[in-house]
């Protein structure tokens, strides 16, 4: 996964690195071009979950099932009280209901079959929305990238003008978007420190470090990869992990007061807890275990 640096494009006098350079631009502006760009930059695959509409769907199905449940209960009572036919036996032997002659009314069986079809729709809807809610919100960088692209010359004009035009917000109003956006191809987030560095590193690359990066044949611009940032942050975290115990020992051996030593131990415990939370993906149990050790 990578992040593009739009201000560091190839010079006009440079030949195209690949015949496929910016091939998505060959598509008509609008949904076709947007879809092709998402294909080469899947991190910008940001869509709506439609929480309200999915909730409506489930609520309506639930209401229909409640109605069917009441109808079925009434029909069961009616058949059980019947004085003719084999209605009273329906509740004890389902086969009798299934094998009843076709010329006899089978309202209870019709209701059961209708209930089964509706339950399948309802269960699928509940499972689908449950799975959708496991998909996390998009990365802020990728959402901003989408907002900038939709208002750029690379995308149009013409721009999106339909009901979905403000789905992703805009560069002027970046938070003016529906609250149910999801990113189907999220970036790897190792820890808080790596995430902050990955989001802020683009400013360093714009200041000159971007000359050390390579161009991407599909984007036509210089990019830096999250994997590179993770390697850098891993090295920094490893160095910090090695220095903390050494530093604590050096400080303690130079303290002669027991009170000062105890306060120093407490301070380093707090510092280690903060470092574990910020520089690693440690769980709460890991933090307690390390501090206890």
pLDDT confidence tier of residue 212, bands split at 50, 70 and 90: very low
Provide the domain count of the chain. 3
Which of the two residues, 71 and 98, has the higher pLDDT score? 71
71 and 121 in one domain? yes
Domain finish residue from 212, 228, 244: 228
161 and 39 in one domain? yes
CA-wise closest residue to 40 among 25, 60, 57: 25
145 and 12 in one domain? yes
pTM above 0.75, yes or no: no
Given a cut of 60, whether residue 235 has pLDDT beyond it is yes
200 and 103 in one domain? no
Query: Residue by residue, what is the 3-state secondary structure of the chain?
Result: CEEEEEEEECCCCCCCCCCCCCHHHHCCCCHHHHHHHHHHCHHHCEEECCHHHHHHHHHHHHHHHHHHHHHHHHHHHHHHCCCCCCHHHCCCCHHHHHCCCCCCCCHHHHHHHHHHHHHHHHHHHHHHHHHHCCCCCCCHHHHHHHHHHHCCCCCCCCCCCCCCCCCCCCCCCCCCCCCCEEECCCCCCCCHHHHHHHHHHHHHHHCCHHHHCCEECCCCEEEEEHHHHHHHHHHHHHHHHHHHHHHHHHHHHCCCCHHHHHHHHHHHHHHHHHHHHHHCCCCHHHHHHHHHC
Rg value, the chain, Cα: 31
38 and 169 in one domain? yes
157 and 123 in one domain? no
Domain finish residue from 132, 148, 183: 132
Indicate the average pLDDT of the chain. Answer: 78
67 and 97 in one domain? yes
Which of the two residues, 80 and 127, has the higher pLDDT score? 127
275 and 143 in one domain? no
- As a whole number, mean pLDDT of residues 95-108 equals 78
- As a whole number, mean pLDDT of residues 46-57 equals 96
Given a cut of 60, whether residue 103 has pLDDT beyond it is no
Q: What is the pLDDT of residue 224?
A: 53
- As a whole number, mean pLDDT of residues 232-255 equals 77
Domain finish residue from 132, 162, 188: 132
pLDDT, tens digit (0-9, with 9 covering 90-100), for 78-94 = 888 887 777 888 888 88
128 and 75 in one domain? yes
What's the rounded Cα separation, in Å, for the pair 258 and 233?
Answer: 36
The residue segments making up the domain with residue 126 are 51-132
């Amino acid at each position: 996964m990578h992040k593009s640096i739009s201000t560091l494009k190839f010079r006009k006098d440079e030949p195209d690195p690949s015949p496929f350079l910016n091939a998505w631009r060959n598509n008509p502006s609008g949904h076709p071009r947007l879809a092709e760009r998402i294909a080469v930059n899947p991190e910008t695959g940001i869509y709506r979950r439609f929480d309200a509409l999915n909730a409506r769907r489930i609520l309506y199905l639930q209401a229909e099932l409640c109605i069917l449940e009441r109808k079925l209960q009434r029909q069961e009572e009616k058949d059980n009280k019947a004085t003719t036919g084999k209605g009273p036996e329906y509740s004890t032997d389902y086969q009798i209901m299934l094998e009843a002659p076709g010329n006899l009314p089978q309202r209870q069986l019709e209701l059961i079959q209708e209930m089964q079809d509706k339950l399948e729709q309802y269960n699928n809807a509940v499972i689908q929305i449950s799975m959708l809610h496991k998909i996390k919100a998009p990365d802020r960088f990728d959402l901003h990238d989408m907002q900038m692209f939709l208002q750029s010359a690379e995308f149009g004009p013409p721009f999106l003008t339909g009901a979905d035009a403000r789905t992703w917000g805009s560069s002027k109003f970046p938070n003016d978007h529906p609250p149910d956006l999801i990113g189907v191809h999220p970036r790897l987030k190792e820890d808080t420190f790596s995430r902050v560095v990955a989001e802020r590193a683009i400013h360093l690359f714009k200041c000159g470090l971007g000359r050390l990066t390579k161009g991407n044949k599909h984007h036509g611009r210089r990019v830096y990869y999250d994997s590179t940032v993770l390697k850098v942050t891993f090295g920094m975290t490893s160095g910090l992990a090695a220095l903390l115990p050494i530093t604590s020992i050096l400080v303690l051996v130079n303290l002669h007061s027991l009170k000062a030593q105890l306060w120093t131990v407490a301070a380093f415990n707090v510092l280690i807890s903060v470092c574990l939370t910020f520089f690693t993906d440690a769980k709460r149990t890991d933090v307690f275990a390390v501090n206890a050790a």
